[in-house]
Amino acid sequence: MNKKRDRLQIIHDILEAIRQRNGSIKPTHILYKSNLSPQMLTEYLAELVDKGFVMESKRGTGKVYSLTPKGFLYLRKYQLVLDFTETFGLN
């Protein structure tokens, strides 16, 4: 595996952080768990919401994020995706 944390791993870390909080988490907690810059996290979260892995909802004055079934599927099949993409250079 690459020494540098690749895209798949970052997405996994974000989704795993949400899953560990019983499927609902504030962005600041994701930031802490995923070890990303705020700018990168914003971009990743926007993409994950757009692609249907994560659902964004409002709680009070802030936002919370929860996993969709597609997000749970990604976590379950992560090793398969990682293995296939590494093998065929699809990272």
Binding residues for another protein, rule: CB under 8 A, are: 1-2, 7-8, 51, 53, 73-74, 77, 79-81, 83-91
The three-state DSSP-derived secondary structure of 27-46 is HHHHHHHHCCCHHHHHHHHH
Q: State the DSSP code for 25.
A: B
Other Cβ atoms less than 10 A from the Cβ of 72: the count is 15
Nearest to another protein of 29, 78 (CB atom): 78
Report the nearest approach of another protein to the CB of residue 42 (Å). Answer: 18
Nearest to another protein of 22, 87 (CB atom): 87
* 24 vs 44: CA distance, rounded Å: 17
Nearest to another protein of 59, 76 (CB atom): 76
Report the nearest approach of another protein to the CB of residue 26 (Å). Answer: 24
